Structure formats: structure tokens, C-alpha cells
Amino acid sequence: MTQTEANTLPENGSEPARQNGFSRRWSAFRAAMADESGTIGLVGRILRGNFRNHWRGYTISFIFLFIVAAMTSLSAWIMRDVVNQIFVKQDVEMLWVLSFGVMAIFIVKGAATYGQMVVQSRIGNRIVAENQKRFYERCLKFGLDFFTDRASSELIMSVSAGANAIRNILDTIVVSVGRDFVSLAGLVFVMVYQAPLMTVIALLIAPPAIFGVSRLVKRIKGIAKAEFTAGVQIIAIIQETVQGAKIVKAFGLGDHMQNRMATAVESVEKRANKISQLQARTSPLMESLGGIAIGVVILYAGWATISSGKTPGEFMSFVTALLLAYEPAKRLARVNVGIAESMIAVRMLFGVLDTPPSVTEADDKPPLTLTRGRIDLTDVVFGYRKTEPVVNGVTLSVGHGQRLALVGPSGGGKSTLLALIQRFYDVDKGAISVDGQDIRSVAVASLRHHIAFVSQDVFLFAGTARDNIRIGRLGATDEEVEQAARDAFAHDFIMGLPNGYDSHVGENGVQLSGGQRQRMAIARAILKNAPILLLDEATSALDSESERMIQIALDKLVEGRTTIVIAHRLATILSADKIAVIEHGRVLESGTHAELVRRGGLYEKLYRYQFAEAEPLERASA
């Protein structure tokens, strides 16, 4: 090898070494794209999951953006002829041509800008809607444990801010690539064509600008996360104020809640101001560096025009391109900053979408084949979050047409048993079967279809009385809804509402009393007409007269159905076919009312205590 050949080799290695370096960088980039926890990976996921579904619309948007970018570059290019032909040569014919040419350029640019904004707005709105639907669809596939571990305010913030953040990121990328980058490239081409040396001088501002922006991005990420958390707190406080309005008023918590809200709002305001301040720092950075570059360019251009005979048109075209390039360059400098801020909400939304559906909500099994509706619990063990068992070795059975009553001290696991039968949770050990079929081996939707449930914590949707009863069977007619209300002794009070069955009950039935809400829940269960009936303190919020009437309705409802009822007032379950006494997650004793009273155990003590209380009251009222 000659000395000349040796001198032509690249520094720090051979050509293969350089290629290996490129391969390593490409591999690192692909790894970053595959790592969906990082910013690059998340952006790649957003593009894969959203951009490909709307590529036709984005293609149209890109065409409009390219037209805008082309017109921007052309407006700088034409300045050379405007100055040379009109102001230097004073060509009247070219005056008309160039004047109308400039008008045409900006008319086309305006029309393309309008078209792009309309198309991209529609795409963005569709993307927000699609992601919100996906989010809600995934939430419906989670079991109760998912919702008990998360605040509703967090989910609300995730679905709202997260979907809009995806839209903002896509809009930023599309506009940055289709308009700003292309415009900048076109304007740089004009600059290079008109004055290569001046272009080199102008581009010297890029490295320090990139370095400054990268420093800002790191600071914005941490602040944006804190801002998102504070935003969740604001939603949570509003929810607590609405849902707990009576408690807030009764305990005089107005000042306390106001202070909490003020603290959360001020926290969001403080962080929003900080983010705005950091984002604004790109402006003085670009302004200063741009001003220096323009000043140096003017100095050189003026000297070249005066001493070297350069035409003023070339200088004007170059300066116009340089000034027009400033705005897209500034927007491109802020791209990473805007994306970094939006990524916090995107991560929250994707965190929910990436959570696997709960096993208890799977519908990939065959449907339940119901023959008689017999329920068997065999050595059932269950503990929330796999901790100390709440239900420990429970074995019970109830056949078609029978009524099983669960009684015992609060916290013994009675309501948990009803939740397990509906497969809101899966048992840790043992099995629950309906007509001999393990409920884990059947589609959960078919299981719940055969069950009517009335909880002690009645939930009503924000709609009309008619709509809330129709939840029991969505295809029911108005006549069937009203008949169910009559059977639940709810018809009279509903007709007393301002608009009868079409009266709105407010959020969670806030406009109704506890007893009225409970009667509507019973009407809902009557309308469902399911072969299995689960009642969890279904009459706990009723007065004695209403309870007596509802008990008549329930006695009629349970005929021919498999019924499990939880009751603390033993007078409501004296006629049950079997009574099981539950304490500390275990069945202490079971049998009929008469058998348990004769046995002299816990049930007999509860019975004597309740009826001993009732007798003095009855004598006093007499």
C-alpha cells in the first residue's frame, strides 16, 4: 500500500468499521422503536396504531401541506425577480406578471392551508373518538379488582387527556414533516442556490439551538407528570363534592374542600406556568441565534453587493428565504418539547390499554346450560388480593325453587359469596357450580344473564326512572316496565315525580330517597325475570310498612327461582328453606329457622336479641 492510499483511509478505522458503526446506530434506533416504554417507541406505536388506519386522509393532508411548503419557498424565490425586474430594471410588463404571480401564490397557499386544517381536524376528531372507545371497551373487560385499585378520576383523566394527547402528537408530527420540514428544506434550497456561503453562515445557529432545546425537554417531562397528577386530584375533588354533597354540608367541610381544591388548582397553575416558561425559552434562544445569523448575513451580503457587483435581487431572495425559514425552524425546535409534554397522558392511556383483560370477564367459553338453577359452593376459599381469606372453606347448596338465607355479623363474608357466585372474582380454592357446571368453565355473560341481583348499595344511572328500571331488560316495553314498578310498590311514588316515569332521577338517584332507590332496584330485578335471584339486604333502606309490602312482592318473585338472600333483620327470612350462619368466612351452622333456634347457637342468640328488642317497642306502641 502506498502512502497516498494509506492517507485515503478513513480515520479511526476502515470502511467496514464505518459501516459497522452505522449498523450499530441503526440497530439502536430499531431497539428504541421496539421499546414502547421510551418516547421513540411510544411515537412508533402511535403511528402504527393510528396513522395506518387513516393513511388516505393523511395523504390528502400531506398533499395540502406540500402545496403550502412549495408556495412558501416560491414566495421567497420570486423576490429576486421582483426586485431585479421591477425595482432595478423597472420593467412594466413584468410588474403586472410578478404582481399577479405573488397574489396567485398566496391564494393557493391560503386555500391549501384551509383544506389541510379541515381534513386534519376531522382525522384528529376520529382518532380521539376511536381511542376513547378502545379505552372504554378495555375497561369493560376488567374485573372489580381493577376498579377498586384505581380512582375514577385517574381513569377519567387518562381517557380524556390521553386520547387528545395522541391526536396532538400525530398533528405535530404530520405538520412538522409535511409543512415545516418541507418548507425549511425548500427555503434552504433557495438560500443555497442564491448564496451558498451566506447559507453556511446562517446554518451555524443549528447546533447550539438543538443543544438548548434538548436540555429543556428533560425538565419538561418531570413537570408534565406532576401537572397530570394534580389534574387528577382536581377531578377527584369535584367528584367527592358532588357525590358527597350531604356530608360536605352536614360536617361543614366547605372551607376544607375549598382549600383542597385551591391547593390542587394552584399546583396545576404553577406547573403549567413552568412548562409555558420552558417552552417560551425556545423563542429567545432562536431569536438571539437567528438575529446574530441575519446580522452577519446582512453584513456579508452588503459587502458583496457593494464591492463584488452582486444584484440586490439575489440578496433580497436570500433574506426573504432566511426570514421565512425562521418560523418553521422555530416550530421544529419545539416539536420534541410538545411531544415530551403529551407523553405523560399517552403513557397513562396505554397503561390501561396494555392491562390484560381479567380472567373473570372472559367470554371465550361455552354458554351456561341452565336446567334447574341449582347452585353448589364446595369448600370455597377466597381472599382479596390473595391476603387473609375472607371466605374460608364454605360449602353450601341451594336447589331450584329454594331460598337460602345468609345471616351473621357484618364483615363475615356474606356479600363476598354473592360476588363470587356472579364471578366478579374467582375463588382461590374450591369451586362454585350452577347445575353441575363450574362457573369458571362457562361464558361469564351467559352466567350473569341468568342472575338478577339487588345490592344494598343501590346504583342508579343519570337518566329517567323508566330508563333505570329498563336496565333489568333493555328490550322491555313501557307497559312491562310499569308493571314491574307496580310489583315493587314503586309506581305510586314514580307517578308523583314531576314527569312521572320520564322524570330524571339525578346522578346516582340523588333526587330520590334511599327507600325509593331500593324499590326501583327491586323493580329492575323483577323486570329481568331471571331464574336465579341474589338479594343483598334488599329491604335495608325501607320503613316497616314499605318493607312489609316489598316482602310480599319478593315472596311472589322468589317462587320457582333459586334464591340466596342476605338479611340482618331475621324477620324477613324466617320462612327460608335453609339458613346459614356465616362468621369470619366460615359456616358456623345451617338449617331451618326452627332447627337453628332449637340448636341454641349464634343464630338463636341473634334471634332472641332482635325479637327481645322488638317486644318492648310493640308494647310501647300498643
Q: What is the CATH number of the domain that holds 180?
A: 1.20.1560.10
Is there a contact between 581 and 588 (Cβ–Cβ < 8 Å)? yes
Assess if residue 541 is contained within a domain: no
Integer CA distances (angstroms), 225 to 221, 271, 557, 576, in order: 6, 10, 53, 56
442 and 349 belong to one structural domain: no
Chain centroid offset of residue 505 CA: 27
pLDDT digits (tens, 9 = 90+) for 234-277: 787 887 777 777 677 777 778 888 888 888 888 877 877 776 66
For the residues of 288-355, what is the DSSP string, one character each?
Answer: HHHHHHHHHHHHHHHHHHHHH---HHHHHHHHHHHHHHHHHHHHHHHHHHHHHHHHHHHHHHHHHHTS
445 and 315 belong to one structural domain: no
Assess if residue 17 is contained within a domain: no
348 and 372 belong to one structural domain: no
Is there a contact between 578 and 592 (Cβ–Cβ < 8 Å)? yes
Question: Using 50, 70 and 90 to split pLDDT, how confident is the model at 7?
Answer: very low
168-182, 184-198, 325-339, 414-428: least confidently modelled range:
325-339
Integer CA distances (angstroms), 64 to 78, 171, 174, in order: 21, 14, 11
Rounded Cα–Cα distance for residues 346 and 427 (Å): 35
213 and 168 belong to one structural domain: yes
Which of 353, 377, 397 corresponds to the end of one domain? Answer: 353
Highest mean pLDDT among 21-30, 156-165, 249-258, 337-346: 156-165
Rounded Cα–Cα distance for residues 180 and 65 (Å): 9
pLDDT at 361: 86
288 and 401 belong to one structural domain: no
How many CB atoms within 10 Å of residue 371?
11
33 and 167 belong to one structural domain: yes
Which pairing describes strands 562-566 and 532-536: parallel, antiparallel, or unpaired?
A: parallel
Is there a contact between 169 and 336 (Cβ–Cβ < 8 Å)? no
Is there a contact between 532 and 454 (Cβ–Cβ < 8 Å)? no
Rounded Cα–Cα distance for residues 405 and 300 (Å): 96
> Which residues fall within 8 angstroms of residue 29, CB to CB, at 6 or more apart?
40
pLDDT digits (tens, 9 = 90+) for 452-468: 998 888 888 888 999 99
Q: 5: buried, middle or exposed (CB in 10 Å: 19+, 13-18, 0-12)?
A: exposed
Assess if residue 520 is contained within a domain: no
Would you say residue 75 has pLDDT above 60?
Answer: yes
Q: What φ, ψ does residue 462 adopt, rounded to 5°?
A: -75, 85
Mean pLDDT of 278-289: 61
Would you say residue 381 has pLDDT above 70?
Answer: yes
Q: Which helix (H) or strand (E) holds 376?
A: strand 375-382
Assess if residue 545 is contained within a domain: no
Assess if residue 603 is contained within a domain: yes
Of residues 88 and 166, which shows the higher confidence score?
Answer: 166
pLDDT digits (tens, 9 = 90+) for 11-43: 444 555 545 555 555 555 455 444 555 678 888
Which of 330, 353, 376 corresponds to the end of one domain? Answer: 353
Q: What angle do CA 327, 331, 333 make, to 5 degrees?
A: 115
pLDDT digits (tens, 9 = 90+) for 64-74: 989 988 888 88
Of 183, 180, 202, the C-alpha closest to 76 is 183
- The pTM (predicted TM-score) of the whole model is 0.75
> For the chain, how far is it from start to end, CA to CA, in angstroms?
123
Q: How many domains would you assign to the chain? A: 2
39-53, 157-171, 341-355, 542-556: least confidently modelled range:
542-556
122 and 85 belong to one structural domain: yes
Rounded Cα–Cα distance for residues 363 and 581 (Å): 34
465-479, 501-515, 572-586: least confidently modelled range:
501-515
Rounded Cα–Cα distance for residues 531 and 217 (Å): 60
How many CB atoms within 10 Å of residue 394?
25
159 and 208 belong to one structural domain: yes
Assess if residue 528 is contained within a domain: no
Question: Using 50, 70 and 90 to split pLDDT, how confident is the model at 4?
Answer: very low
CATH number at residue 595: 3.40.50.300
Of 366, 508, 374, 546, the C-alpha closest to 440 is 366
Question: Using 50, 70 and 90 to split pLDDT, how confident is the model at 616?
Answer: very low
Would you say residue 331 has pLDDT above 80?
Answer: no
Of residues 540 and 622, which shows the higher confidence score?
Answer: 540
Rounded Cα–Cα distance for residues 389 and 582 (Å): 14
Q: Give me the sign of the Cα torsion angle 494, 496, 498, 499.
A: positive
pLDDT at 12: 47
100 and 151 belong to one structural domain: yes
pLDDT at 1: 43
Rounded Cα–Cα distance for residues 516 and 493 (Å): 8
Integer CA distances (angstroms), 323 to 107, 211, 310, 318, 471, in order: 20, 22, 20, 9, 64
Rounded Cα–Cα distance for residues 576 and 597 (Å): 14
Q: 319: buried, middle or exposed (CB in 10 Å: 19+, 13-18, 0-12)?
A: buried
307 and 395 belong to one structural domain: no
61-70, 238-247, 419-428, 594-603: least confidently modelled range:
238-247
Rounded Cα–Cα distance for residues 509 and 482 (Å): 18
Of residues 266 and 436, which shows the higher confidence score?
Answer: 436
Which of 293, 324, 353 corresponds to the end of one domain? Answer: 353
pLDDT at 204: 67
Question: Using 50, 70 and 90 to split pLDDT, how confident is the model at 590?
Answer: very high
Rounded Cα–Cα distance for residues 395 and 429 (Å): 12
Rounded Cα–Cα distance for residues 318 and 310 (Å): 12
Assess if residue 285 is contained within a domain: yes
Query: Given strand 562-566, what is the order of strands in its sheet?
Result: 451-454, 532-536, 562-566, 403-407, 578-583, 586-591
Is there a contact between 442 and 368 (Cβ–Cβ < 8 Å)? yes
Question: Using 50, 70 and 90 to split pLDDT, how confident is the model at 123?
Answer: very high
pLDDT at 231: 74
328 and 185 belong to one structural domain: yes
CA R_g for the chain: 37
Chain centroid offset of residue 349 CA: 5
- Amino acid (1-letter code) at residue 126: R
Q: 342: buried, middle or exposed (CB in 10 Å: 19+, 13-18, 0-12)?
A: buried
Rounded Cα–Cα distance for residues 176 and 572 (Å): 70
2-11, 334-343, 368-377: least confidently modelled range:
2-11
pLDDT at 287: 59
| E-only strand ranges, 409-524 | 429-434, 437-438, 451-454
Q: What angle do CA 366, 369, 374 make, to 5 degrees?
A: 130
pLDDT digits (tens, 9 = 90+) for 481-538: 999 999 888 999 999 999 999 999 887 787 888 888 888 988 999 999 899 999 998 7
> Which residues fall within 8 angstroms of residue 68, CB to CB, at 6 or more apart?
109, 112, 113, 116, 179, 183
130 and 234 belong to one structural domain: yes
**Domain of 169?**
27-353
DSSP reduced 3-state for 393: strand
Assess if residue 537 is contained within a domain: no
13-27, 143-157, 349-363: least confidently modelled range:
13-27
